[in-house]
Structure formats: structure tokens, C-alpha cells
Amino acid sequence: AQKVTQAQTEISVVEKEDVTLDCVYETRDTTYYLFWYKQPPSGELVFLIRRNSFDEQNEISGRYSWNFQKSTSSFNFTITASQVVDSAVYFCALSEANSGNTPLVFGKGTRLSVIA
């Protein structure tokens, strides 16, 4: 069975601090996808990144960076120099990669509050 664990329920940081959101996953599949989404108060899910299981390269996009470590089954997300607009709930998710459509399995989310 697939499972995503986001152990940090809530995190509060002061603006300009760096913050890392943890994500640990479980799957028996050798091919899978990992995702991060941002959910602001409006509720809409904002796509941040998708990574397939064969690509362990870390990725940087502006102030965002992701560290994918298959050895520890982790896909952590770091925001550098956090801003108030980063305040939201962040979800890590996992899906199989099959021919056919498969749903995402979400972690419980981490609520990030960035204080000015």
C-alpha cells in the first residue's frame, strides 16, 4: 500500500527565514511519481512539482528547492527566504506510474505560517 507521511502538522517561521517541509513516502512500486502542492486559503491546489522515481536530481525553482532521496524515501521541500505569501498548507503526494489512470495519495499536509 502507498502512504505519505508529513510529520510536521504546523510550522511557523519569521519572514526571510528558510524552512524545510518534510515528506516521507512508502510504496512497493519501482516506478512512481511524487508531487508537491500548495493550498492557499481559497482551497485551490497549486501545483509545485512532479518528480518521477528515476530522477533523483534535486531541483531548484526560484526560492523553492526539492531534495529527493530514494535511500530514505524522502522528498523534502525547502523554501528559502520565506515570505508572507508562502503561508499556506503544503501537501506532498504520491502515485503509481501505470498505463492507466491512478489517483494521488496525499499526506496530511503541513500548515506553514510566515510571520512578517
Nearer to other proteins, 18 or 59 (CB): 59
Cβ-contact 56, 68 below 8 angstroms? yes
Report 22-81 residues binding other proteins (CB under 8 A).
33, 35, 37, 43-45, 47, 50, 52
3-state secondary structure of 79: strand
The yes or no reply on residue 104 touching other proteins (CB under 8 A) is: yes
Cβ-contact 74, 24 below 8 angstroms? yes
How many Cβ atoms are within 10 Å of 8's Cβ, its own excluded?
Answer: 17
Number of residues that bind other proteins (CB under 8 A): 26
Q: Cell triple for residue 104?
A: 494521488
The yes or no reply on residue 112 touching other proteins (CB under 8 A) is: no
- Positions that interact with other proteins (CB under 8 A): 33, 35, 37, 43-45, 47, 50, 52, 91, 93, 95, 97-109, 111
